Chains A and B, each alone.
Chain A
Amino acid sequence: MVISCSPHSKKPVDMEICRRNDEIEISELDPFLAELLRQIPASANPEGTPAAEKRLFSPPTSGTETEICAEWKLYVEPELRRLFQTATETVAADLEQLDGNEKKIASTLRIPSKHADAWLSALNQARLVIAAKYDFTDGELGDHFRSPIGSRRDLSLFQVNFYGFLQEFILRELGGWEKGSGD
Chain B
Amino acid sequence: MAKNVTVTTFPIWRNAGPSTVDKPTIKKETRSKENLDLPWQVVVHNDPVNLMTYVTMVFQRVFGYPREKAERHMLEVHHEGRSVLWSGMRERAELYVQQLHGYLLLATLEKAS
The interface bits of chain A over 73-103 (1 if a CB of B lies within 8 angstroms of the residue's CB, else 0) are 0001001100100000000000000000000
Interface size class of A (residues with CB under 8 A): 20 to 34
Question: Are B97 and A60 in touch, CB under 8 angstroms?
Answer: yes
* Bound Cα distance A121, B102 (Å): 9
Measured between beta carbons, the chain A residues less than 8 angstroms from B103 are: 121, 124
Which residues of B lie under 8 Å from residue A3 when comparing CB positions?
none
B5 on interface, CB distance cutoff 8 Å: no
Q: How many A-B contacts are there with CB distance less than 8 Å?
A: 58
A141: Cβ under 8 A from any B Cβ: yes
B71 within 8 A of A: no
The complex places the Cα of A43 from the Cα of B57 at a distance, in Å, of: 24
Q: A80-B101, A83-B102 are in contact. Are A167 and B51 (CB under 8 A)?
A: yes
In the complex, the answer to whether A141 meets B106 with C-beta atoms within 8 Å is no
**Leading 10 A-B pairs by shortest Cβ distance:** A131-B49, A138-B48, A124-B104, A171-B53, A60-B97, A141-B48, A61-B109, A61-B108, A60-B109, A128-B49
Interface residues of B (CB under 8 A from A): 48-51, 53-54, 57, 94, 97-98, 101-104, 106-110
